[in-house]
């Protein structure tokens, strides 16, 4: 068996194991981490002129940000959930613009916003 293929399979199994064992709070952290990782990778692909990779990575990020937005409980979350939904919608727009116009500034803006949200989310963990 190819060593690279074996490593990828191990990583898939490891991630699946982490997902099954994670609390809802940790699952949101994992989504945010995944989105940030893909944004960093997309920025690198953009800098290297790898447009197909950039588009694929931004597409995956958009999908994750949509999942974060969809996970909000707008009924129970009140104004905070509504504001987060608006921020996720704005990030979505930034990511679309970054992809369409090869704009690293819009990619960075979305990344900065998600880092702020993630830092707040990470700060509430001990209270959960």
- The answer for residues whose C-beta is within 8 angstroms of residue 68's C-beta and 6 or more apart is 28, 31, 32, 35, 88
For the stretch 32-74, pLDDT in tens is 999 999 999 999 999 999 999 999 999 999 999 999 999 999 9
pLDDT score at 10: 46
pTM of the predicted model, to two decimals? 0.82
The Cα 125–Cα 18 span in angstroms is 17
pLDDT score at 2: 63
Is residue 81 within 8 A of residue 72, CB to CB? The reply is yes
Ordered structural domains, the chain, with CATH: 25-123 (1.20.120.340)
The Cα 106–Cα 113 span in angstroms is 11
The Cα 43–Cα 53 span in angstroms is 10
């Amino acid at each position: 068996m190819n060593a690279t293929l074996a490593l990828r399979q191990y990583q898939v199994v490891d991630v699946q194991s982490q997902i099954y064992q994670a609390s809802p709070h940790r699952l949101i952290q994992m989504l945010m981490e995944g989105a940030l990782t893909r944004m960093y990778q997309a920025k690198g692909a953009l800098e290297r002129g790898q447009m197909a990779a950039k588009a694929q990575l931004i597409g995956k990020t958009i999908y994750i940000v949509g999942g974060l937005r969809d996970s909000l409980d707008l009924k129970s979350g009140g104004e905070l959930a509504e504001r987060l939904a608006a921020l996720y919608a704005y990030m979505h727009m930034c990511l679309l613009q970054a992809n369409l116009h090869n704009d690293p500034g819009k990619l960075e803006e979305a990344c900065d916003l998600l880092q702020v949200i993630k830092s707040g989310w990470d700060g509430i963990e001990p209270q959960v």
